[in-house]
Amino acid sequence: MAGRGDPPEGTPDGLPGGGEDEYRSVVFDESFVRAARLQEFSARERMGEHAQAVRSRSPGEDGAVARGGGSRQALLLVLLILLAFGTAIYLGVRNPYLPPADERAAPLRTTVVPLAPQRTVPGGEPARLFARGPAAEHRTGAAGINFPVAGRTSHFSESQVVTALGIAKDYLVASSLEPGVLSGATVRPARLLLDPDQLPQFDRSVETPADDGRHAEAGWLVRFDPRRAVLADPAVRVQGTLRFEETGPETLDVTADHTFTYALRAPGAPPERASLFTVQRQTHFRFDREDLRMHRTELLTSTVLAGPQACGADTTGSLTPLLAGAGVPEAGSARATDPYATARPAAPSLCGALAPGAQPSP
């Protein structure tokens, strides 16, 4: 070797003067040999044709420590792969936004019943009419749509129940209290809250209503023909309840039962010629998890009792109120129905009589 050098682990023990002798340059201990990057072939290996005298040693041949380190790295890599795979499976199972079930929303079933007056429709100023009628203590607008005490169900959390109740309330406001909807100017506020599967049925009910139990416009929303009746007071009186029930692991139902009282007048008529018109709506909503996430709903059934209207009135399209001073003598033979009663009988099939107590006193 050219020059002097020390072994990798220091001077060997037992040499005088710390190993400072003339043989120091050619003394190699075991650690020095293990650390060498070249290894001499044996005599038998060197006898082969084109054989080399030495070969390079790979890092894995440096001893048990190197082999042990490589094994630990391989084991760590396997553990990391298993951990990543297990995390992916866990997140897939626990993901709250599961893909929606491939089920289409059922079509809405509608029932619309006119309630004919048994006497002349009372008229007057809206405030006096409300004060003398059953709606005197009812709240105004959306304040009359109150939530029940919400709680979790077997498969839906309390927050999901509150979300369903909120969507149902939003739909009632959009379809029964929105001024643009009441006047027939728009249907967009209510339409935006419907499941996409029900939009074709909704559009047909608005554009070409029919008396087939599926396409009555009044089953979806409250609208008045502006050529016949307009609001005399924008403050609609509202009273009713919301109830919720889990109907399956993936469905939550909300049932709404509300009475809306409107003060109407003929276009151009003075305010003192107003009259009250009552709409009692029973609406059954259904929500799946995708509906809750997208803030929309499905309507299963809708039953509407509305009066005063004539028994022969067309109930498929916009409502046709009888205004102050009008009367329908033939209504006396029908069974009286009070839309303000909390325990009301089943809706008549064709027409009902508006109970006298449901109108303001003379």
Other CB atoms within 10 A of residue 235 CB: 15
CB proximity list for 188: less than 8 A, separation 6 or greater: none
The Cα-based distances of 261 to 2, 205, 295 in angstroms read 111, 24, 28
Sorted by sequence, the CB contacts under 8 Å of residue 148 that are 6+ apart come out as 165, 241, 242, 243, 244
Give me the helices (H) in the chain, please: 30-35, 43-46, 64-94, 126-132, 158-176, 179-182, 188-191, 199-207, 289-294
253 vs 224: CA distance, rounded Å = 29
Q: Encoding tokens for residue 168?
A: 């149902």
- Give the DSSP letter of residue 319: B
Can you tell me the distance from the alpha carbon of 221 to that of 171, in angstroms, rounded to the nearest whole number?
9
pLDDT of the residue at 65: 47
Structure tokens at 121: 């429709």
Tens digit of pLDDT at every position of the chain (362 positions):
455 545 555 555 555 545 455 555 555 566 655 665 556 666 666 666 555 655 555 555 555 444 555 678 888 888 888 888 877 777 765 555 444 445 788 999 999 999 999 889 999 999 999 999 999 999 999 999 999 998 999 999 999 999 999 999 999 999 999 999 999 999 999 999 999 999 999 999 999 999 899 999 999 999 999 999 999 999 999 999 999 999 999 999 999 999 999 999 999 999 889 999 999 999 999 999 999 999 999 999 999 999 999 987 787 889 999 999 997 755 545 567 788 886 654 554 578 788 878 888 76
d(CA 294, CA 207): 26
Is the bond into 200 cis (omega within 30 degrees of 0)?
no
pLDDT of residue 80: 85
C-alpha dihedral (219, 230, 127, 242), degrees to nearest 10:
20
Helix, strand or coil, per DSSP, at residue 204:
helix
